[in-house]
Amino acid sequence: MPIFSTKANFSKMNQDAFFMEQAVLLSQRHMEEGQGGPFGCIVVKDGVIVGRGWNSVLAGNDPTAHAEVMAIRDACRHLGTYQLDGCAIYTSCEPCPMCMGAIYWSRPEKVFYANTREDAAETGFDDSFIYDELVRPLEQRKIPMIAMDKTEALKVFRLWQEKENREQY
């Protein structure tokens, strides 16, 4: 993966457009290769591209292999951390709930996006449906969510709280 700085060559405004162009170019290239849907994403820190991802759901038989998830994982691998402090994410489309969750867990500084969830829905992707589902009560979901006895599971939560030197993330 080429890692290069654009600091010297671009004004801040052009930098954002340049990075978004990179994300969109990834979305096109790998969609045309048949890896998955038309989505691309890059992660930038201090003007340097530190992570890249594209949808590879089909090629990888992996429903979690969305562009943002792949770019976040790539960036964390390169940076040796599970937190994207001070990073910006450029994604060719507004993130779906799964990717938005991944973004909150990785805590970048900001997110730039181009296409919207409505554009995605019109193009045949279920993002809007999932956003709608997540606010329904658990007992009204399309995929049944069944509560079970939590006695043993709660004990493990207590063990975590009592764990010495645990790293809270």
Catalytic site positions? 68
Q: Which is nearer to a copy of itself, 7 or 142 (CB)?
A: 142
* By CB under 8 A, residue 137 contacts a copy of itself: no
Give the pair of three-digit tokens for residue 9.
């060559």
Q: Which residues make beta-bridge pairs with 41?
A: 53, 91
CB of 7 to a copy of itself, least distance (A): 20
Q: Which is nearer to a copy of itself, 48 or 133 (CB)?
A: 133
How far apart are alpha carbons 59 and 35 in whole angstroms? 5
* By CB under 8 A, residue 146 contacts a copy of itself: yes
* By CB under 8 A, residue 14 contacts a copy of itself: no
Q: Which of 124, 141, 123 has its CA nearest to residue 132? A: 141
38-57 binders of a copy of itself (CB under 8 A): 38, 57
73-112 binders of a copy of itself (CB under 8 A): 73, 76-77, 80-84, 92-94, 96-112
Stretch that binds a copy of itself, among 2-10, 43-51, 160-168 (CB under 8 A): 160-168
* By CB under 8 A, residue 116 contacts a copy of itself: yes
CB of 93 to a copy of itself, least distance (A): 7
CB 90 within 8 A of CB 22: yes
CA 59 to centroid of chain Cα atoms: 18
Tell me whether residue 34 is exposed, middle or buried, using C-beta atoms within 10 angstroms of its C-beta: 0 to 12, 13 to 18, 19 or more: exposed
* By CB under 8 A, residue 32 contacts a copy of itself: yes
CA 11 to centroid of chain Cα atoms: 26
